[in-house]
């Protein structure tokens, strides 16, 4: 390793305070240990328009899809108190180096709803039995944590149906209520 590579690995020149240096080092550690972490999984992002299995909620086949986008993430179970009354608080986190690679997100979501990636997208994850299940990304779980953000997700358990312009429409979603 030459001196310039050593300086880059330490973050010299790109960070200016001790807090920034600690954040830079922590991000590097997360990147290096990502694949060895048992909470590291592959998920598949998509939206309502690119859903090629609209009639299914479980037993999905995202690895065979041409429209679902694979992404490495961590599935984090934070507590048994949740956004939905009978669900545990589940979150996802991306690698610090990950950047949104979904070309339609800005047009379909960010501009229309002023949301941040990946809020509003569906996510296929394997459950404990190895069965692919549909989830919905709800919101940023901790808006104050800019270095290591997480997003709350809930399993889709309801199919909402309606008639618009004489055509039957349907979308998978979550019932969001809290009794406490």
Mean pLDDT of successive 10-residue stretches along the chain, which has 180 residues = 65 66 76 81 90 90 92 81 62 82 79 78 91 90 71 90 91 74
SS3 at position 39: coil
pTM: 0.77
pLDDT at 94: 85
CA–CA separation, 76 and 68 (whole Å):
22
Residue 124 and residue 92 in contact, taking contact as beta carbons nearer than 8 Å: no
pLDDT at 62: 93
Is the Cα torsion angle 73, 37, 58, 180 positive or negative in sign?
negative
pLDDT at 65: 92
Listed residue (85, 152, 82) closest to 123, CA to CA: 152
CA–CA separation, 24 and 171 (whole Å):
40
Outline where 34-157 has alpha helix (H). 105, 111-113
């Amino acid at each position: 390793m030459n001196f310039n590579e050593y300086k880059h690995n330490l973050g010299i020149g790109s960070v200016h305070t001790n807090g920034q240096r600690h954040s830079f080092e922590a991000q590097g550690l997360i990147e290096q240990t990502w694949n060895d972490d048992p909470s590291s999984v592959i998920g598949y992002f998509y939206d309502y328009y690119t859903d090629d299995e609209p009639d299914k909620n479980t037993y999905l086949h995202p690895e065979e899809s041409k429209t679902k986008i694979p992404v490495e993430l961590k599935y984090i179970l934070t507590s048994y108190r949740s956004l939905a009354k009978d669900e545990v608080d589940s979150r996802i986190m991306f690698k610090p180096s990950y950047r949104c690679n979904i070309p339609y997100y800005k047009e379909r979501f960010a501009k229309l709803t002023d949301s941040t990636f990946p809020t509003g997208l569906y996510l296929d994850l394997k459950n404990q039995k190895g069965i692919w299940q549909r989830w919905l990304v709800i919101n940023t779980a901790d808006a104050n944590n800019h270095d290591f953000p997480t997003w709350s997700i809930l399993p889709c358990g309801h199919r909402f149906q309606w008639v618009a312009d004489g055509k039957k429409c349907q979308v998978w979603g979550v019932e969001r209520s809290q009794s406490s």
